[in-house]
Amino acid sequence: MKDRIYLSTPHMGGDELKLVQETFASNWIAPLGPQVDAFEKEFAASVGSPHAAALSSGTAALHLALRLIGLKAGEEVLCSTLTFSASVNPIFYEGGTPGFIDSERTSWNMDPSRLAEALEDRARKGRLPRAVILVHLYGQSADIDAVAALCERYGVTLIEDAAEALGASYKGISPGTRGRMGIFSFNGNKIITTSGGGMLVSADASLVDKARFMATQARDPAPHYQHSEIGYNYRLSNVLAAIGRGQLRVLSERVDARRAVCAFYKKAFVDLPGLEFMPEAAWGRCTRWLTCVLFDPKKFGADREAVRVALAAENIEARPIWKPMHRQPVFAGCDCFGGDVADDLFARGLCLPSGSSLTPEQLERVAAVVRGCHA
Ligand SMILES: Cc1ncc(COP(=O)(O)O)c(C=O)c1O
Protein backbone atom coordinates (compact mmCIF):
# COMPACT_ATOMS: atom_id res chain seq x y z
CA MET A 1 0.00 0.00 0.00
CA LYS A 2 1.35 3.43 -0.93
CA ASP A 3 1.82 6.07 1.82
CA ARG A 4 -1.41 7.80 2.76
CA ILE A 5 -1.97 11.30 1.43
CA TYR A 6 -4.29 13.27 3.69
CA LEU A 7 -6.69 16.06 2.84
CA SER A 8 -5.16 18.63 5.18
CA THR A 9 -2.58 17.93 7.86
CA PRO A 10 -1.03 20.03 10.63
CA HIS A 11 2.18 21.75 9.56
CA MET A 12 4.36 23.09 12.35
CA GLY A 13 6.61 26.05 11.71
CA GLY A 14 9.55 25.77 14.07
CA ASP A 15 8.83 28.12 16.96
CA GLU A 16 5.95 26.06 18.37
CA LEU A 17 8.10 23.59 20.32
CA LYS A 18 10.30 26.38 21.72
CA LEU A 19 7.19 28.22 22.94
CA VAL A 20 5.71 25.03 24.43
CA GLN A 21 9.03 24.40 26.20
CA GLU A 22 8.90 27.92 27.62
CA THR A 23 5.42 27.10 28.89
CA PHE A 24 6.68 23.94 30.56
CA ALA A 25 9.68 25.74 32.05
CA SER A 26 7.38 28.32 33.62
CA ASN A 27 4.96 25.56 34.76
CA TRP A 28 1.98 27.39 33.20
CA ILE A 29 0.27 24.10 32.29
CA ALA A 30 -3.08 25.73 32.86
CA PRO A 31 -6.13 26.81 30.94
CA LEU A 32 -4.94 30.40 31.24
CA GLY A 33 -1.60 32.16 31.35
CA PRO A 34 0.80 34.44 29.50
CA GLN A 35 0.74 32.43 26.26
CA VAL A 36 -3.04 32.80 26.05
CA ASP A 37 -2.78 36.56 26.63
CA ALA A 38 -0.04 36.91 24.01
CA PHE A 39 -1.88 34.69 21.50
CA GLU A 40 -5.01 36.80 21.85
CA LYS A 41 -3.09 40.02 21.24
CA GLU A 42 -1.11 38.64 18.32
CA PHE A 43 -4.19 37.07 16.75
CA ALA A 44 -6.21 40.26 17.09
CA ALA A 45 -3.41 42.21 15.41
CA SER A 46 -3.12 39.59 12.65
CA VAL A 47 -6.81 39.77 11.63
CA GLY A 48 -7.15 43.46 12.42
CA SER A 49 -9.74 43.12 15.17
CA PRO A 50 -9.42 45.20 18.35
CA HIS A 51 -10.25 42.33 20.71
CA ALA A 52 -10.01 38.51 20.76
CA ALA A 53 -10.74 35.71 23.25
CA ALA A 54 -8.96 32.36 22.89
CA LEU A 55 -11.36 29.44 23.36
CA SER A 56 -11.35 25.65 23.28
CA SER A 57 -12.91 25.42 19.79
CA GLY A 58 -14.59 27.35 17.02
CA THR A 59 -17.86 25.69 18.02
CA ALA A 60 -17.47 27.00 21.58
CA ALA A 61 -16.79 30.48 20.15
CA LEU A 62 -19.97 30.37 18.06
CA HIS A 63 -21.98 29.09 21.01
CA LEU A 64 -20.77 31.98 23.15
CA ALA A 65 -21.52 34.46 20.36
CA LEU A 66 -25.14 33.28 20.38
CA ARG A 67 -25.27 33.46 24.18
CA LEU A 68 -23.83 36.97 24.06
CA ILE A 69 -26.56 38.25 21.75
CA GLY A 70 -29.10 36.68 24.08
CA LEU A 71 -30.61 34.22 21.60
CA LYS A 72 -33.81 32.89 23.10
CA ALA A 73 -35.63 29.60 22.60
CA GLY A 74 -37.83 29.70 19.52
CA GLU A 75 -35.94 32.54 17.83
CA GLU A 76 -34.64 32.07 14.32
CA VAL A 77 -31.05 32.39 13.11
CA LEU A 78 -30.39 32.45 9.36
CA CYS A 79 -27.27 30.54 8.30
CA SER A 80 -25.53 29.44 5.11
CA THR A 81 -26.78 26.01 4.08
CA LEU A 82 -23.46 25.01 2.52
CA THR A 83 -21.32 24.54 5.61
CA PHE A 84 -20.21 22.16 8.33
CA SER A 85 -22.80 21.23 10.97
CA ALA A 86 -20.75 23.09 13.62
CA SER A 87 -22.05 26.36 12.13
CA VAL A 88 -25.60 25.30 13.03
CA ASN A 89 -25.42 23.12 16.14
CA PRO A 90 -24.91 26.04 18.57
CA ILE A 91 -28.25 27.52 17.41
CA PHE A 92 -29.87 24.39 18.84
CA TYR A 93 -27.81 24.54 22.05
CA GLU A 94 -29.79 27.71 22.77
CA GLY A 95 -33.14 26.36 21.58
CA GLY A 96 -33.14 28.48 18.43
CA THR A 97 -34.26 27.43 14.96
CA PRO A 98 -32.07 27.75 11.88
CA GLY A 99 -33.28 29.02 8.52
CA PHE A 100 -30.92 28.11 5.70
CA ILE A 101 -29.74 30.30 2.83
CA ASP A 102 -28.40 29.00 -0.47
CA SER A 103 -24.98 29.78 -1.98
CA GLU A 104 -24.11 31.98 -4.93
CA ARG A 105 -21.70 30.79 -7.61
CA THR A 106 -19.07 33.53 -7.30
CA SER A 107 -17.65 32.38 -3.96
CA TRP A 108 -19.93 29.43 -3.06
CA ASN A 109 -20.92 31.37 0.09
CA MET A 110 -24.25 32.84 1.19
CA ASP A 111 -26.24 34.37 -1.67
CA PRO A 112 -27.22 37.92 -0.63
CA SER A 113 -30.25 37.84 -2.95
CA ARG A 114 -31.55 34.73 -1.15
CA LEU A 115 -30.87 36.39 2.19
CA ALA A 116 -32.85 39.43 1.01
CA GLU A 117 -35.73 37.11 0.08
CA ALA A 118 -35.62 35.47 3.52
CA LEU A 119 -35.52 38.79 5.38
CA GLU A 120 -38.40 40.21 3.31
CA ASP A 121 -40.41 37.08 4.03
CA ARG A 122 -39.70 37.27 7.76
CA ALA A 123 -40.40 41.03 7.88
CA ARG A 124 -43.74 40.44 6.15
CA LYS A 125 -44.59 37.81 8.74
CA GLY A 126 -43.50 40.13 11.56
CA ARG A 127 -40.87 37.79 12.94
CA LEU A 128 -37.40 38.88 11.95
CA PRO A 129 -34.54 36.49 12.76
CA ARG A 130 -32.36 37.22 15.77
CA ALA A 131 -29.10 36.88 13.80
CA VAL A 132 -27.44 35.86 10.56
CA ILE A 133 -24.46 33.49 10.66
CA LEU A 134 -22.41 34.18 7.56
CA VAL A 135 -19.95 31.37 6.81
CA HIS A 136 -16.74 31.87 4.82
CA LEU A 137 -15.97 28.50 3.26
CA TYR A 138 -12.82 26.83 2.03
CA GLY A 139 -10.59 29.85 2.64
CA GLN A 140 -12.78 32.30 0.74
CA SER A 141 -14.70 35.29 2.04
CA ALA A 142 -18.38 35.69 1.35
CA ASP A 143 -19.67 39.01 -0.02
CA ILE A 144 -19.62 40.66 3.40
CA ASP A 145 -20.72 44.16 2.30
CA ALA A 146 -23.90 42.88 0.66
CA VAL A 147 -24.81 40.70 3.65
CA ALA A 148 -23.89 43.37 6.22
CA ALA A 149 -26.01 45.97 4.38
CA LEU A 150 -29.05 43.67 4.56
CA CYS A 151 -28.45 42.94 8.24
CA GLU A 152 -28.21 46.68 8.92
CA ARG A 153 -31.37 47.43 6.94
CA TYR A 154 -33.39 44.92 8.96
CA GLY A 155 -31.60 45.46 12.29
CA VAL A 156 -30.42 41.86 12.47
CA THR A 157 -27.12 40.96 14.17
CA LEU A 158 -24.37 39.65 11.91
CA ILE A 159 -22.09 36.90 13.23
CA GLU A 160 -19.31 35.63 10.98
CA ASP A 161 -18.13 32.03 10.96
CA ALA A 162 -14.61 32.41 9.60
CA ALA A 163 -13.45 29.01 10.92
CA GLU A 164 -12.16 28.10 7.45
CA ALA A 165 -11.02 31.51 6.30
CA LEU A 166 -8.14 32.64 8.51
CA GLY A 167 -5.60 34.40 6.29
CA ALA A 168 -8.14 35.35 3.60
CA SER A 169 -9.06 38.91 2.72
CA TYR A 170 -12.15 40.81 1.62
CA LYS A 171 -11.62 44.30 0.17
CA GLY A 172 -8.57 44.65 2.41
CA ILE A 173 -10.07 43.33 5.66
CA SER A 174 -10.11 39.87 7.21
CA PRO A 175 -13.35 37.92 7.06
CA GLY A 176 -14.67 37.56 10.60
CA THR A 177 -13.97 41.17 11.58
CA ARG A 178 -16.95 43.02 10.12
CA GLY A 179 -19.87 41.46 12.00
CA ARG A 180 -20.78 42.07 15.63
CA MET A 181 -18.62 39.03 16.37
CA GLY A 182 -16.53 36.64 14.33
CA ILE A 183 -15.19 33.19 15.09
CA PHE A 184 -12.15 31.21 13.94
CA SER A 185 -11.05 27.58 14.41
CA PHE A 186 -7.65 26.01 15.05
CA ASN A 187 -8.88 22.46 14.60
CA GLY A 188 -6.27 19.98 13.31
CA ASN A 189 -7.24 20.30 9.66
CA LYS A 190 -7.29 24.12 9.54
CA ILE A 191 -4.69 26.37 7.90
CA ILE A 192 -3.00 26.78 11.29
CA THR A 193 -3.78 24.57 14.25
CA THR A 194 -3.42 24.28 18.00
CA SER A 195 -4.69 20.67 17.72
CA GLY A 196 -8.01 22.06 18.90
CA GLY A 197 -8.98 25.63 19.65
CA GLY A 198 -10.89 28.68 18.53
CA MET A 199 -11.07 32.44 18.77
CA LEU A 200 -13.90 34.92 19.16
CA VAL A 201 -13.21 38.43 17.89
CA SER A 202 -15.16 41.65 18.13
CA ALA A 203 -14.69 45.40 17.98
CA ASP A 204 -16.71 45.55 21.20
CA ALA A 205 -14.43 45.00 24.21
CA SER A 206 -17.37 44.32 26.52
CA LEU A 207 -18.49 41.35 24.40
CA VAL A 208 -15.02 39.81 24.38
CA ASP A 209 -14.64 40.37 28.14
CA LYS A 210 -18.01 38.72 28.69
CA ALA A 211 -16.97 35.80 26.47
CA ARG A 212 -13.88 35.26 28.66
CA PHE A 213 -16.07 35.43 31.77
CA MET A 214 -18.60 32.91 30.44
CA ALA A 215 -15.82 30.63 29.19
CA THR A 216 -14.35 30.39 32.70
CA GLN A 217 -17.50 29.13 34.46
CA ALA A 218 -18.98 32.63 34.86
CA ARG A 219 -17.25 33.24 38.18
CA ASP A 220 -18.36 36.43 39.88
CA PRO A 221 -15.55 38.68 41.16
CA ALA A 222 -15.45 37.39 44.74
CA PRO A 223 -12.80 35.61 46.82
CA HIS A 224 -15.09 32.59 47.14
CA TYR A 225 -16.79 30.75 44.26
CA GLN A 226 -19.95 32.63 43.42
CA HIS A 227 -22.02 32.40 40.26
CA SER A 228 -24.91 34.53 39.07
CA GLU A 229 -24.99 33.10 35.54
CA ILE A 230 -24.55 29.75 33.80
CA GLY A 231 -20.96 29.37 32.62
CA TYR A 232 -18.84 27.06 30.49
CA ASN A 233 -15.37 25.55 30.53
CA TYR A 234 -14.42 26.92 27.12
CA ARG A 235 -10.98 28.54 27.53
CA LEU A 236 -7.94 27.56 25.46
CA SER A 237 -5.10 26.00 27.42
CA ASN A 238 -1.89 27.96 27.85
CA VAL A 239 0.07 25.06 26.28
CA LEU A 240 -2.09 25.10 23.13
CA ALA A 241 -1.88 28.89 22.93
CA ALA A 242 1.91 28.49 22.72
CA ILE A 243 1.43 26.29 19.65
CA GLY A 244 -0.96 28.88 18.22
CA ARG A 245 1.58 31.68 18.61
CA GLY A 246 4.16 29.66 16.71
CA GLN A 247 1.62 28.82 14.00
CA LEU A 248 0.53 32.43 13.61
CA ARG A 249 4.12 33.39 12.74
CA VAL A 250 3.97 31.20 9.62
CA LEU A 251 0.37 31.93 8.58
CA SER A 252 1.25 33.94 5.47
CA GLU A 253 3.66 31.18 4.34
CA ARG A 254 0.88 28.64 4.82
CA VAL A 255 -1.48 30.72 2.70
CA ASP A 256 1.12 30.96 -0.07
CA ALA A 257 1.78 27.21 0.11
CA ARG A 258 -1.92 26.33 -0.14
CA ARG A 259 -2.38 28.71 -3.03
CA ALA A 260 0.61 27.05 -4.71
CA VAL A 261 -1.07 23.64 -4.27
CA CYS A 262 -4.16 24.98 -6.03
CA ALA A 263 -2.00 26.52 -8.77
CA PHE A 264 -0.32 23.14 -9.27
CA TYR A 265 -3.67 21.39 -9.76
CA LYS A 266 -4.88 24.13 -12.11
CA LYS A 267 -1.85 23.64 -14.31
CA ALA A 268 -2.03 19.84 -14.10
CA PHE A 269 -5.69 19.78 -15.20
CA VAL A 270 -5.67 22.68 -17.64
CA ASP A 271 -6.51 20.49 -20.65
CA LEU A 272 -9.19 18.37 -18.93
CA PRO A 273 -12.77 19.10 -20.01
CA GLY A 274 -15.57 19.07 -17.45
CA LEU A 275 -13.38 19.98 -14.47
CA GLU A 276 -13.62 23.44 -12.91
CA PHE A 277 -12.16 25.01 -9.79
CA MET A 278 -13.96 26.97 -7.08
CA PRO A 279 -13.77 30.52 -8.47
CA GLU A 280 -11.78 33.16 -6.63
CA ALA A 281 -14.13 36.12 -6.13
CA ALA A 282 -12.73 39.48 -7.26
CA TRP A 283 -13.53 41.03 -3.86
CA GLY A 284 -10.70 39.27 -2.05
CA ARG A 285 -7.87 36.82 -1.79
CA CYS A 286 -8.74 33.20 -1.09
CA THR A 287 -6.31 31.10 0.95
CA ARG A 288 -7.31 27.94 -0.95
CA TRP A 289 -7.47 26.26 2.46
CA LEU A 290 -8.87 23.38 0.43
CA THR A 291 -8.67 23.12 -3.34
CA CYS A 292 -12.22 22.37 -4.47
CA VAL A 293 -13.16 21.14 -7.93
CA LEU A 294 -16.44 20.43 -9.70
CA PHE A 295 -16.83 17.59 -12.17
CA ASP A 296 -19.26 17.58 -15.05
CA PRO A 297 -19.62 13.82 -15.56
CA LYS A 298 -20.78 14.15 -19.20
CA LYS A 299 -17.71 16.13 -20.21
CA PHE A 300 -15.18 14.65 -17.78
CA GLY A 301 -16.27 11.05 -18.17
CA ALA A 302 -16.56 10.35 -14.43
CA ASP A 303 -18.51 11.83 -11.55
CA ARG A 304 -17.04 13.15 -8.33
CA GLU A 305 -17.78 9.94 -6.45
CA ALA A 306 -15.91 7.87 -9.03
CA VAL A 307 -12.94 10.22 -8.67
CA ARG A 308 -13.11 10.05 -4.85
CA VAL A 309 -13.23 6.25 -4.93
CA ALA A 310 -10.30 6.10 -7.39
CA LEU A 311 -8.27 8.35 -5.07
CA ALA A 312 -9.23 6.26 -2.03
CA ALA A 313 -8.05 3.12 -3.84
CA GLU A 314 -4.64 4.80 -4.08
CA ASN A 315 -4.72 5.66 -0.36
CA ILE A 316 -5.45 9.33 -1.08
CA GLU A 317 -8.01 11.17 1.04
CA ALA A 318 -10.48 13.45 -0.78
CA ARG A 319 -13.86 14.65 0.49
CA PRO A 320 -17.09 15.68 -1.15
CA ILE A 321 -18.01 19.35 -0.74
CA TRP A 322 -20.10 19.86 2.42
CA LYS A 323 -23.47 18.18 2.26
CA PRO A 324 -25.87 21.14 2.61
CA MET A 325 -27.54 21.59 5.97
CA HIS A 326 -31.04 21.52 4.44
CA ARG A 327 -30.23 17.93 3.32
CA GLN A 328 -29.12 16.76 6.76
CA PRO A 329 -31.50 14.36 8.50
CA VAL A 330 -30.90 16.15 11.81
CA PHE A 331 -32.12 19.48 10.37
CA ALA A 332 -35.06 18.06 8.39
CA GLY A 333 -38.04 20.37 8.48
CA CYS A 334 -36.02 23.61 8.74
CA ASP A 335 -36.74 26.27 6.13
CA CYS A 336 -34.32 26.85 3.30
CA PHE A 337 -34.31 29.77 0.87
CA GLY A 338 -33.19 28.32 -2.43
CA GLY A 339 -30.89 25.33 -2.19
CA ASP A 340 -30.27 24.29 -5.80
CA VAL A 341 -26.80 25.84 -5.97
CA ALA A 342 -25.61 24.15 -2.77
CA ASP A 343 -27.16 20.87 -3.95
CA ASP A 344 -25.28 21.11 -7.23
CA LEU A 345 -21.97 21.96 -5.52
CA PHE A 346 -22.40 18.96 -3.22
CA ALA A 347 -23.35 16.64 -6.08
CA ARG A 348 -20.37 17.59 -8.24
CA GLY A 349 -17.74 18.95 -5.87
CA LEU A 350 -14.67 17.34 -4.38
CA CYS A 351 -11.95 18.69 -2.05
CA LEU A 352 -8.51 17.50 -3.10
CA PRO A 353 -5.52 17.05 -0.77
CA SER A 354 -4.45 20.61 -0.01
CA GLY A 355 -2.01 20.59 2.91
CA SER A 356 0.81 23.11 2.94
CA SER A 357 3.40 20.34 3.47
CA LEU A 358 2.45 18.20 0.46
CA THR A 359 5.51 17.26 -1.60
CA PRO A 360 5.71 17.62 -5.40
CA GLU A 361 5.70 13.79 -5.62
CA GLN A 362 2.50 13.56 -3.58
CA LEU A 363 0.84 16.22 -5.72
CA GLU A 364 1.88 14.34 -8.87
CA ARG A 365 0.35 11.16 -7.43
CA VAL A 366 -2.99 12.93 -6.82
CA ALA A 367 -2.97 14.55 -10.26
CA ALA A 368 -2.22 11.24 -11.99
CA VAL A 369 -5.22 9.53 -10.38
CA VAL A 370 -7.59 12.41 -11.25
CA ARG A 371 -6.30 12.48 -14.83
CA GLY A 372 -6.72 8.70 -15.01
CA CYS A 373 -10.45 9.09 -14.26
CA HIS A 374 -10.98 11.23 -17.38
CA ALA A 375 -12.47 8.98 -20.02
C1 LIG B 1 -17.34 26.31 8.85
C2 LIG B 1 -16.95 25.78 10.19
N3 LIG B 1 -17.54 26.29 11.29
C4 LIG B 1 -17.22 25.87 12.51
C5 LIG B 1 -16.25 24.92 12.71
C6 LIG B 1 -16.00 24.47 14.12
O7 LIG B 1 -14.71 24.66 14.55
P8 LIG B 1 -14.11 23.68 15.68
O9 LIG B 1 -13.79 22.36 15.04
O10 LIG B 1 -12.85 24.39 16.13
O11 LIG B 1 -15.10 23.56 16.76
C12 LIG B 1 -15.58 24.36 11.60
C13 LIG B 1 -14.51 23.37 11.68
O14 LIG B 1 -14.30 22.49 12.37
C15 LIG B 1 -15.96 24.79 10.31
O16 LIG B 1 -15.39 24.26 9.21
How long a stretch of residues is the chain?
375
Pocket test for ligand 1, best of 84, 88, 108 (most atoms within 8 A of CB): 84
C-alpha 108/C-alpha 303 separation (Å) is 20
Q: Are strands 157-161 and 181-185 parallel, antiparallel or unpaired?
A: parallel
Residue pLDDT, tens place only, 165-224: 999 999 999 999 999 999 999 999 999 999 999 999 999 999 999 999 999 999 999 999
Atom of ligand 1 nearest to the CA of 198: 10
Query: Ligand 1 centre and the CA of 92: distance in Å?
Result: 16
Is there an atom of ligand 1 within 6 Å of 81 CB?
no
For residue 124, how far is its CA from the centre of ligand 1 (angstroms)?
Answer: 33
- Checking 87-91 for CB contacts under 8 A at 24+ apart, the result is 87/62, 87/133, 87/135, 87/161, 87/163, 87/325, 88/133, 88/325, 88/331, 89/59, 90/59, 90/62, 90/63, 90/65, 90/66, 91/66, 91/133
pTM equals 0.98
Q: How far is the CA of 185 from the centre of ligand 1 (A)?
A: 6
Residue 338 Cβ contacting ligand 1 at under 6 Å: no
Q: What gap in Å lies between CA 300 and CA 309, rounded to an integer?
A: 15
Nearest to 60 by CA among 299, 205, 237, 320: 237
Å from CA of 62 to ligand 1 middle = 9
For ligand 1, atom 9, name the residue with the nearest CA.
187
Q: How confident is the model at residue 28 (pLDDT cuts 50, 70, 90)?
A: confident
